[in-house]
Amino acid sequence: MGKVSLEGIEFHAYHGVFKEENKLGNRFTVDIHVETDFRKAMLDDDLKSTVDYGKVYRIAKSHMQEPVKLLEHLAHLMIKDILAAYPDSKQITIIIKKHNPALGGVVNYSVVTVKYPEDYD
């Protein structure tokens, strides 16, 4: 068992409940962790035997470009597509940070963490 991760992926996107968030957008940071059995890739040096993090990045990017209200929903959409691409994934964790959320005070970021299969039971 091993883990393929992308950490600190940054996007400017328009997710949120408030009109200002949808109009002005905000900075987001995404971390993605995919746990899978990649022993075959360790031996055969073949990208087809593991999780292609380029593909995982493209999945995240495509969802960041489509505004949603809730970060929980956004993480779920990413997990759904990663599972479709890598159905043998044992665990997928998506962490999304919204920098400077519109809360009327100083907050570095709000964070949502969604884990498959843990949050899907």
> Considering 48, 80, 90, 98, which one is annotated as catalytic?
98
Tell me how far apart the alpha carbons of residues 98 and 3 are, in angstroms, rounded to a whole number: 24
Tell me how far apart the alpha carbons of residues 16 and 101 are, in angstroms, rounded to a whole number: 9
Residue 55 annotated as catalytic: no
Return the closest-CA partner of residue 32 out of 61, 12, 70, 1. Answer: 61
Tell me how far apart the alpha carbons of residues 33 and 47 are, in angstroms, rounded to a whole number: 17
- Residues carrying an active site annotation: 98
